[in-house]
Structure 1
Amino acid sequence: MKNLKMIAMLCYMVICTLLLGSCSKDDEVTPEPQLTPSEILASTAWETTNAKNNKGENVVLTDANVSNFVGFAYFKSDGTFTMFNLDDSPKMHGDWSVSADGKTRTIVAKNAAGETLFTRIVDITVLTKEEFTYRIYPNNDNKSVYFDIIHTPTTHTEPK
């Protein structure tokens, strides 16, 4: 009986040691910090990879309704941006911002002298680390016809 108690106590100690030893800080998951909409947009380079119309149908990127919005975009954390066509030719540069609620993006395109060429405000429909989609309206008076311009992260190096 004494030996049985000794074996039981030994087994109990081995099990407790194994359980305590398996508890490790390596298993703790550190939550990713919450990024603001502006931080998300500036966190990566973006490439136009798709466009959809108001019916949810894919639109080829060469379609006249969307081709002006296709390319590579580089939003820097200092509030400036550069955009290039898919052949790496320069498209535009200037200043950008995203509303605090992440619902709109504003770009102010500038010429080489720093003078404003135009300002464009678009509705953001998706803004995550995996996708940036904004909506354009061919006719601002008709919100039923629109195109969603879809961008995904790219490792494409910004042309000089």
Structure 2
Amino acid sequence: MERYAVRVALVTGANSGIGAATARALFEKGLKVVGLDKRIDMIKAHELKDAPGKLYPLQVDVSSEESILCAFKWIKENLGGVDVLINSAGVCGESLPTNEFTSIQQISPGLLKTEIFSTLQKHSTEALENMRLPMMESEDMADAVIYMLSQPPRVQVYDIILRPTGDLFC
């Protein structure tokens, strides 16, 4: 991770769940993290005062190309550009300006316990609870991101598949 210290990471969906956990893990490792989300109320609360990195919350609708381009413009003007892009807001990759990125890496998770479950209808949530399916936490995804970025320059991790222990679909 030393080679990424003081570099700029952009994390979409940084207000909660996987995005929040990943943003927190990255600025704890010393990166400047730009956290994008429609809601930024919780992004600021995630910042740790004694962490070596810095968090920059930006209110952005990642489903709007204009909004995304404005964010990249702000980042370029204020931080010099993006070195690491973590897309955890569910936006299709071709919607983001990726022509400056040299590699695309992917983490494919199994079932994760995130804020999305609070938006499900009551019977959907109850059904999941009754099935007693094993679930991972958002921090498990953040740890996988840190693992990918921690590799020496001679190693490139392209894909990681994560499944919770006891997953029936493994």
TM-score (norm 1): 0.26
Higher-Rg member (1/2): 1
Q: Which has the higher strand share?
A: 1
* Highest RCO, 1 vs 2 (Cα 8 Å, sep ≥ 6): 2
Q: Which has the higher helix share?
A: 2
TM-score (norm 2): 0.25
